[in-house]
Chain A
Amino acid sequence: MKKEDLEKMLSGIDPPMPEHLTHQEELKIPLLRYKRSSKAGLWLLILPIIIAVTSILKHELAISWGFLNVIGSLIAAVDENPVLTFLIPVIVLGLPCTAMVMNLLAFCHFTTVRERKELLITMKYRPVNIGIVLLSFAILVFFFLPDVLSF
């Protein structure tokens, strides 16, 4: 077959043209509700983790290092500095709590069945979100231990 003949055949080809797609509506609703799954909880834990690690390295391992000393002195100044007085509790308590709640909501779904007066809680297996919740909880427990933040 000549190339021109094949091109002519291709130009005259009659491909299928799907019409009236019933499945089109099925996708629309979940598509418009779609949000990227939130791993924002992990970002919220960076500062608390830095403080927790600083505490461990300075108190438990007695490591003295420039960056650790800076963090330590910031936390030690919490009673003297009104900004830090506000900020440190937000970082060590507020951020892990927020991370925990955000990620709990990512894998727990709540629906009510009015007719049966039921509240249905569905928990989906989402290891990353569950991991962030556990990490947040661990950080909160750590900060509630005595003398952790005494620099």
Chain B
Amino acid sequence: MNEEKLLQEIEADPQKFAEVYEAFYKSIFGYAFRRTANYDAAKDIAAETFLKAYTGIGKFTWRNISILHWLYRIATNETNKYFNSRKYLPESINRIHEEYGVDITDYSNAETERILLEEDLQRHQDFVKINELMKKLDTKYQEALALRFYEQKSIEEIAVILGKKTGTVKSLLSRGVDKLKKEYGGRADEKRRS
């Protein structure tokens, strides 16, 4: 996909955004699902990410940064909001509900999919255990660790996505692993005691 050309086409015809959606939705939903381990939350976060991208794409300037990295940035911010707030309020989704009467958060139609994904999640027990521990860390470590180990992004890619320097990313990863090690150790001690 020639992203620079696509951005110009989207400027002329916003409906072309569908190509961005088709190309990257699975990656973004997958990222949100891996971070939250929650189908409903992942669906909200992915929807909010694409809604914000759709309305904000006019402000996205082509600087050799992949659209996918930009989407990851939005999704990371939304996921952090989910972890940091008591109640995640996807604003754009609520507006769609008001304007079109479409309830994207109506999960009854996607019940089968949810069951399948959650069953699949349980088959990745190592991931589930690590993810539970990771959720106890500050979001700045979570995001770096998730992008590195779940999404297999390089340090440079993570730096672009998070808008940080590569040195900062390395530091976050190192400290994040240290903190995860403490949580992991603490959990092992608890198991031994019980």
Contact = CB atoms under 8 A, between A and B. Distances in A.
Interface of A: 1, 3, 6-7, 9-11, 13-19, 21-24, 26-28, 30-37, 124, 126
Interface residues of B, number: 50
B29 A28 contact: no
Contacts of B99: 34-35, 37
Given A16-B121, A37-B95, A32 B17 contact: yes
Instruction: List 3 A-B pairs, minimum CB-CB distance, nearest first.
Output: A23-B110, A10-B149, A30-B102
A6 B184 contact: yes
**Which among A1, A6, A15, A36 has the highest number of chain B CB atoms within 10 Å?**
A15
A13 B149 contact: yes
B160 interface: no
Given A10-B177, A31-B50, A124-B98, A16 B33 contact: yes
Contact of B124 (A7, A16, A23, A28): A16
Given A6-B177, A32-B18, A34-B99, A22 B51 contact: no
Interface of B: 14-15, 17-18, 21, 25-26, 29-30, 33-34, 43, 46-47, 50-51, 54-55, 92, 95-96, 98-102, 104, 109-110, 112-113, 117, 120-121, 123-124, 126-127, 130, 145, 148-150, 177-178, 180-181, 184-185, 188
Contact of B54 (A10, A17, A34): A34
Given A11-B149, A15-B124, A15-B150, A34 B30 contact: no
Contacts of A22: 110, 112-113
B34 A21 contact: no
B113 A21 contact: yes
A111 to B, nearest CB: 11
Given A10-B177, A13-B126, A30-B102, A21 B26 contact: yes
A6 B173 CA distance: 12
Given A33-B100, A37-B99, A13 B50 contact: no
Contacts of A13: 126-127, 130, 149-150
Contacts of B177: 3, 6-7, 10
A27 B104 CA distance: 7
